[in-house]
Structure 1
């Protein structure tokens, strides 16, 4: 495999090669997100691809360049999910046998979808790097062709087609804010964007827990690891080809906290009515966390994937309601006697706050034995209604503590 970075001509050739087999996704201005941030926000909806992620572009560009012998022998890939589905889907379309090695903690939805595309799935290790090591071992033992998720010129050229479309739809973009895992997405976009518009700013975004590319480019030694909502960009060892491209084509790399990623995922559901996984929302997370740095600018970001486990998405949406004050858990100290609960619930009724769940805690409490803690999970139309409820309870003589998210 050549390590020569692809050129704009390679990216244009890739666009022609994959045309018709990969969706030319819409790029739309978000009026509401623009109002929130003060910037003009343009979203590239790569989560609308058939496999719900941009990875199809690079995977198909690679598969279409295999020789007849390589197609017959089959391919193998290591992936946390989106690259796996892309290779599996297009491999089946082209009649190429596909084996995928995935980390054991890959969301179930991604494993199932990959198998549904006809691939043989092998689960191994906790992170991408573990799955990658086994895939390279199987590559040699079974004479398979390895399809790298990011560190391959054909993959990078395929991802660069996104920038061609973005700048064709909105040539006046001032800045691109792009998620970084191994670096394939931003490498292709950086080459295309900086070639067509040298003055455009390209900013990379990594999850705060996985600053692997930032460490390499900036020479920092920030710790890497932990459970992140953005598992699609949770890469410990970034690409070698991609780090060279990023050093030349990307202006800077920023980090986003987990709560900001959660907030971005929830806002995309609420405002744009679109489902985006943590990695796909990383770009928007930065815009929401640092609006002052983008105010007045025309900003494009890629919603690069939408494969999020439905249960996890539900948790994210509920946590967002907690953070914005619409759902609360109150610990109310009261005398353990008849009528106490009725007096409390009366205050909820007066405040127009709905009770979701209650629990009496009589044993594990520092209160006197005759007292109890009543935990109430509740929901209101806004944060002010919850605060009004707390005021009513305290005016009635109850002591109230409110559970908070970090």
Structure 2
């Protein structure tokens, strides 16, 4: 059995209108708390079949938690290298899955460099977003949507490094939905995809200034940028305040806590302006477990 679960596909009464149905793919309900386990679980299983005896990851967020979870389930040790900016909660969640945590560097780039320098011949490197195996695993959510009989008019999702975007486009294409557009949402200060699209080439942000740290890739995967040229992808950027407000509203409407990275997409769904005249909109509720209700409330107060 795969390490991820098949998640509910729910029509949101709070977000829908008589003319537009908004469907939620509830990947916040995955065992480690985010969609990441789809691709990371798939990759870890494949690397285990190839003989990997240890997994090395370089994420201080949901990818690291998913790698740790996968390793525990597969009885393979995991080392997660995290930057100094990683929250105590994130490190606690990684350790809870019995993985070793190494803190190194001021940014993901430094943590990632150390992780890669540690690799032995029997190790597998688990990248947070830039690995075709991850994309293949993430595509399973669209397989589930197709089996449920839904062909959306648009898919709304959040973009960090672009792994989810790559997976969803792959899933759409392998299920006969190659023409379905993707609305790709980022927050101000973590908008490397939007800035790349505007520049016509992949750019690297000097720093991440958004509190939606799960979207904090200074440079998106090359394949994610390439899909903006080959697939109908519409880039949208929202402020942190809108993402946090959407998270708070989502708690009231659906009794589920998600991170601001996920709230970015929910903000667009609540606002509806970017959804146009689509009859059925699929929203990937990607989840995230490093933000608490208390943190969301504090952020909401700060950004009023």
Distance 2:35 2:5 in 1: 9
How many Å apart are 1:247 and its aligned residue?
Answer: 3.2
Q: Confirm or deny that 1:78 pairs with 2:78.
A: no
Do the aligned partners of 1:78 and 1:135 also contact (CA within 8 Å) in 2? yes
* Separation of aligned partners in 1, 2:115 and 2:123: 10
CA distance in 1, matches of 2:212, 2:164: 15
**For residues 23-172 of structure 1, what are the structure 2 equivalents within 5 Å?**
23-35=5-17, 39-66=20-47, 70-72=51-53, 74-139=54-119, 144-172=123-151
Looking at structure 1, the residues matched to 65 and 245 of structure 2 have their Cα atoms a distance apart, in angstroms, of: 26
Q: What per-residue deviation string (whole Å, max 9, x for no partner) do you get for residues 350-387 of structure 1?
A: xxxxxxxxxxxxxxxxxxxxxxxxxxxxxxxxxxxxxx
Tell me the TM-score normalized by structure 2: 0.89
Three-state SS of the structure 2 residue aligned to 1:299 is strand
- 2:186 matched residue in structure 1: 206
Provide the C-alpha distance between the structure 2 equivalents of 1:263 and 1:113, rounded to a whole number of angstroms: 25
1:268 paired residue among 233, 247, 250: 250
- Greater relative contact order (Cα < 8 A, sep 6+): 2
Distance 1:222 1:63 in 2: 28
- Name 1:7's counterpart in structure 2: none
Deviations 1:376-399 (A, max 9, x none): xxxxxxxxxxxxxxxxxxxxxxxx
1:94-121 Cα distance to aligned partner (Å, 9 max, x none): 1211110112222322210100111111
Q: Distance in 2 between matches of 1:292 and 1:213?
A: 17
Q: Which residue of 1 aligns with 2:290?
A: 308
Structure-2 residue corresponding to 1:367: none
CA displacement, residues 301-355 of structure 1 (integer Å, 9 cap, x when unaligned): 1111231332312314556xxxxxxxxxxxxxxxxxxxxxxxxxxxxxxxxxxxx
Unpaired segments ≥5 residues, structure 2:
none
Cα distance in 1, alignment partners of residues 238 and 206 from structure 2: 14
Distance, in Å, in 2 between the alignment partners of 1:186 and 1:113 is: 25
In structure 1, distance between residues paired with 2:241 and 2:77: 40
Q: Does structure 1 conserve the Cα–Cα contact (< 8 Å) formed by 2:27 and 2:34?
A: yes
| Alpha-carbon spacing, 1:246–1:296, altered in 2? closer, same or farther (3 Å) | closer
Q: What is the TM-score when the length of structure 1 is the normalising length?
A: 0.68
Alignment match, 1:330: none
1:215-364 superposed matches below 5 A: 215-219=195-199, 225-291=207-273, 293-295=275-277, 297-310=279-292, 311-316=294-299, 318=301
RMSD between superposed Cα atoms in Å: 2.4
Residues 215-234 of structure 1 show CA distances to partners (whole Å, capped at 9, x for unaligned) of: 33332669653442311111
State the 1:177 CA deviation. Answer: 0.8
Distance 1:295 1:214, change over 3 A: same
Find the partner of 1:183 among 151, 156, 162: 162
